Amino acid sequence: MIVVNDRLAAVVAYVDRERRRGLARRALVGVAVFSAGIGVLVAALVVLPGWLAPRDSFDHAADAVRAQNDARGVVLQGVGGLIVVLGAYGTWLWGSRIRFDGLASTFVGVLDTGQAARRYLLTRPPRTGWRRSRGFPITRHH
């Protein structure tokens, strides 16, 4: 990297340091979210069924096991539904941001195109004479 002066070198070093901090922060958040997800799954599969359907509440062990399996299914369905709702919300947010950015860039593109067309029309010399244009018959342009 070519350094123009010390101030520029300090700014570049600061930006690099902040980018590394941001990457480390993102990695730490990713590990925390993954750990929380594993914790929720362990709680849903091991702890909650025993708490929701304790074995001493049933006369037969088979009924207790069946109730705990049903509780596991209900809890996992709830966690799955929560994941689907959060995913749909994230997709909606992302789509609305993309839609707005796309609309804004389309509007700016239309403005730029209009300005370029005006510039072209105002600066070009007038065309005179006969010419053949794209396979159409010879026309007179003025």
Write out pLDDT tens, residues 47-106. 888 888 888 888 888 998 899 899 888 888 988 999 999 999 988 888 777 666 666 666
Per-residue HEC secondary structure of the chain comes to CCCCCHHHHHHHHHHHHHHHHHHHHHHHHHHHHHHHHHHHHHHHHHHHHHHHCCHHHCCCHHHHHHHHHHHHHHHHHHHHHHHHHHHHHHHHHHHHHHHHHHHHHHHHHHHHHHHHHHHHHHHCCCCCEEECCCCCCCEEEC
Domain annotation covers residue 43: yes
Mean pLDDT of 20-47: 86
pLDDT for the residue numbered 98: 67
Q: How many domains does the chain have?
A: 1
Domain annotation covers residue 141: no
- Greatest mean pLDDT among 4-13, 40-49, 84-93, 116-125 lies in 84-93
Domain annotation covers residue 17: yes
Domain annotation covers residue 142: no
Domain annotation covers residue 134: no
pLDDT for the residue numbered 36: 92
Domain holding 65, by residue range, is 6-128
Domain annotation covers residue 59: yes
Domain annotation covers residue 139: no
